[in-house]
């Protein structure tokens, strides 16, 4: 499976390890890169969800149709599976996810640290 980053500003931060480390710190940078490697090594998004690395889970409300993947206690990598629906059959066909950013969505506010 592959990932893409459609937001240009986000792409500049995430694809530059130095900028990423300056933005989120060393530990979070390591965890983000680990999740990218896990996504790349999965054959499809359904397999990634079933395997459970980072506890991927569908999001609701303003983040509907997106998935959160744990980075630490509070922050999640938010991705969008590029498929028509989020049913199991569609997720088995999903070969690309779009990275949306890193957020703490607990509580009443969304605290986006990337973008």
pLDDT at 38: 94
Q: What is the largest CA-CA distance in the chain?
A: 39
Q: Domain spans of the chain?
A: 2-114
Residue 99 has pLDDT above 80, yes or no: yes
Structure tokens at 69: 């993947």
Q: Which residues pair with 4 in a beta bridge?
A: 98
CATH number of 2-114: 3.30.2310.20
Q: pTM of the full predicted structure?
A: 0.92
Give mean pLDDT, residues 47-63.
Answer: 92
Nearest to 3 by CA among 19, 15, 13: 15
Give mean pLDDT, residues 88-108.
Answer: 92
| CB of 24 closer than 8 Å to CB of 113 | yes
| CB of 62 closer than 8 Å to CB of 110 | yes
Residue 115 has pLDDT above 90, yes or no: no
Residue 7 has pLDDT above 80, yes or no: yes
Radius of gyration for the chain, computed over Cα atoms and rounded to the nearest angstrom: 13
């Amino acid at each position: 499976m592959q990932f893409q980053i459609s937001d240009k500003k986000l792409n500049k931060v995430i694809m530059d390890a130095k900028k990423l480390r300056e933005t989120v710190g060393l530990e979070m940078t390591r965890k983000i890169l680990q999740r990218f490697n896990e996504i790349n090594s999965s054959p499809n998004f359904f397999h990634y969800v079933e395997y459970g690395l980072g506890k991927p889970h569908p999001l609701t409300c303003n983040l509907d149709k997106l998935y959160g993947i744990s980075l630490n206690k509070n922050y999640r990598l938010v991705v969008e599976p590029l498929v028509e629906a989020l049913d199991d059959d569609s997720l088995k066909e999903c070969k690309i996810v779009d990275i949306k950013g890193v957020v703490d969505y607990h509580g009443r506010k969304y605290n986006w640290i990337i973008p």
